[in-house]
Amino acid sequence: MGPLTNSEETRRKEIMSWAQKQKGALVRDGNSVSAGRLFLANSVIIWSLKQLRDEKLKENEAQGYFFFVKKHVH
């Protein structure tokens, strides 16, 4: 499984941009920023997009993963 294609990367960036705007997704403490929820969300998104490309995951299954990513981040 190679790197994300340009369209997959665009889709990932759109989802992550939304996620970063959610309250609590980024936690700042002085000069430190914690984004543990975003790290996990990004990993799931990349995995899902690659599985879709390789036809190991159906579109509705991927949508389920994206639904839970949104719940996890929010």
- pLDDT tens digit sequence for 16-53: 888 888 888 888 899 998 888 888 889 999 999 999 99
**26 neighbors 33 (Cβ within 8 angstroms):** yes
> Tokens 């994300």 appear where?
4
Task: Report DSSP state, residue 33.
Answer: E
- Where are the chain's structural domains? 45-74
Strand partners, 44: none
Give the closest residue to 41 by CA, choosing from 64, 9, 15, 60.
Answer: 15
**48 neighbors 8 (Cβ within 8 angstroms):** no
pTM: 0.78
